[in-house]
Amino acid sequence: MHPARRPGPPGAVVPPQPERSPAVPYPSQPTSLSSTGPSARPVVLGVDLTSAGARPGAHRARGPIAPRPFDGERFLHLMRTADRGLLDFVSLDEGFLLHPGRSQVTGRLDTAVAAARAARVTTGIGLVAAVDTVHVEAGHAAVALSSIDRASSGRAGWQAVRQSRLPEADDAWAARVELGIRSVTQVWTGRPGSGSGAVELDAEGRFRVDHDGIRFAVRGRPAAGTEDALPQVPPPLVVSARSEASAALAGRTADVARITVTDAAQAVRLRRLVRDSALSAGRDPEDVRVLAEVYVVLAAERASARARLELVEALEGTAAMGDGLVIADTPDELATLIADLTTVGAVDGFLLRPSSLSSDLDTITDHLVPALQHAGLFRTERTETTLRGSLGLSDAEREREALPTGRLLSA
């Protein structure tokens, strides 16, 4: 199934359609999944809740309702909803902020703190937090991730951030962030006493803090013995892949590749690049999950979903939708797309970005998930207690090329 780009703003994509006359744009009945047999491995399904902090307008349920400020209790309610839907994980990207810079509205949200707090109100869902591996010392990043992992009993995950003050080519980002990823990883894989987990100080006993905001707190370097409290197995790593360079990085380092694509053919190409890179790095390609990122607007009827998408475009533009797939359709049609692309091996699953955090997330858990369960593509109960187990990843530590750990440099 190949979604076709529709006329209009960049990134907006027509929901996949069967072959039919252009004069009849939509089928009268949704495609059935009854003929879809169970797959060898269940679909991986995650949901991105970054907009809960970054885009207050996303809190509106339906229509032109005034935006609400960030509400911590509402955020935890969204996390509980995703947990109830048996989803594999929730991701909180670097955009989980109250403002993008010093010149905007004051205040920040920290993904690691939010994920650790959500661990106390959820029972099985994975918690993937974006962690800066370039401007933050490896020891500090590892300690932040270990706090999520301890609070959630092994449900932590982390994503390498893309945040940059200036536009950056994908290959430049991949080269810049790889050393940071490996430095943080070496905190777990390094031998005790090797210093891999320490925070390096300058000649005057200070360490650099890259900060953009009006408030911050520095609690000093990790205490001696902190390394012993780190998880025995590194939390799964998510890497965003948009091109050949970042797909190769994901294959070398990641457990989950989050790909941005506009059609099935591009998904197949990027997945092949990720798996080839993993094989070249001496890794088992089956240990890397490739997920397509999709911005979704869901409704009981396709016309209603398309109308709401047009309303979002009119009110907020298309920037929040990203450059990948945009699906405005019914849960059954989205389930059919998921079934088609996973059964042919284009992807291993999807990371859904709900347009409306209230209605779309409820629709995902109450309608999309049951449709996938009925087709034998998704779990009906949780049998794993860790994120690695939920993703079907081995608990054995992955072999990585050892790189010397040193001070991380700003780009």
* Per-chain mean pLDDT for the chain: 76
Which pLDDT tens digit goes with each residue over 211-260? 554 444 444 444 445 445 566 678 999 999 999 999 999 999 999 999 99
Residue 28 resides in a domain: no
Residue 257: its pLDDT value, please? 97
Q: How many CB atoms lie within 10 A of CB 276?
A: 14
Q: How many CB atoms lie within 10 A of CB 230?
A: 21
Q: Report pTM.
A: 0.77
DSSP assignment string, 75-122: HHHHHHHHHHTT-SEEEE-TT-SS-SSTTSSS----HHHHHHHHHTT-
Residue 39 resides in a domain: no
Judged by average pLDDT, the poorest of 89-93, 125-129, 320-324, 397-401 is 397-401
Residue 402 resides in a domain: no
Asked whether 212 and 101 are in contact (CB, 8 A), the reply is yes
Q: Rounded CA gap, 208 and 202, in Å?
A: 8
Which pLDDT tens digit goes with each residue over 153-211? 999 999 988 765 556 788 888 888 898 898 888 887 764 444 444 445 555 555 555 55
Residue 202: its pLDDT value, please? 52
148/6: higher pLDDT? 148
DSSP assignment string, 170-213: HHHHHHHHHHHHHHHHHHHHSPTTSSTTPPP--TTS-------S
Residue 406 resides in a domain: no
Residue 242 resides in a domain: yes
Query: How does residue 51 score in pLDDT terms, banded at 50, 70 and 90?
Result: confident
Domain at 90, CATH number = 3.20.20.30
Record the tokens describing residue 342, joined without a space: 């996973």
Asked whether 238 and 158 are in contact (CB, 8 A), the reply is yes
Residue 203: its pLDDT value, please? 54
Which pLDDT tens digit goes with each residue over 307-318? 999 998 888 788
Record the tokens describing residue 285, joined without a space: 């390609």
43, 44, 310, 369, 372 from 38: Cα distances, Å? 10, 14, 35, 14, 10
410/241: higher pLDDT? 241
Residue 165 resides in a domain: yes
Residue 87: its pLDDT value, please? 98
How many domains does the chain fold into? 1
Q: Rounded CA gap, 302 and 339, in Å?
A: 19
135, 162, 363 from 97: Cα distances, Å? 17, 14, 25
Q: Calculate the dihedral angle through the C-alpha atoms of 105, 108, 109, 110, rounding to the nearest 10 degrees.
A: 160
Residue 208: its pLDDT value, please? 54
Residue 175: its pLDDT value, please? 85
For residue 330, the enclosing domain spans 44-199+224-390
Find how far residue 349's CA is from the centre of its chain.
Answer: 12
Does the pLDDT at position 15 exceed 80? no
Which pLDDT tens digit goes with each residue over 342-365? 999 999 999 999 998 889 999 999
Query: How does residue 327 score in pLDDT terms, banded at 50, 70 and 90?
Result: very high
Residue 403 resides in a domain: no
6, 24, 111, 344, 345 from 18: Cα distances, Å? 15, 11, 41, 17, 20
Average pLDDT value for residue range 32-37: 50
Query: Quick one: what percent of the chain has pLDDT higher than 70?
Result: 67
Residue 314 resides in a domain: yes
Average pLDDT value for residue range 122-133: 93
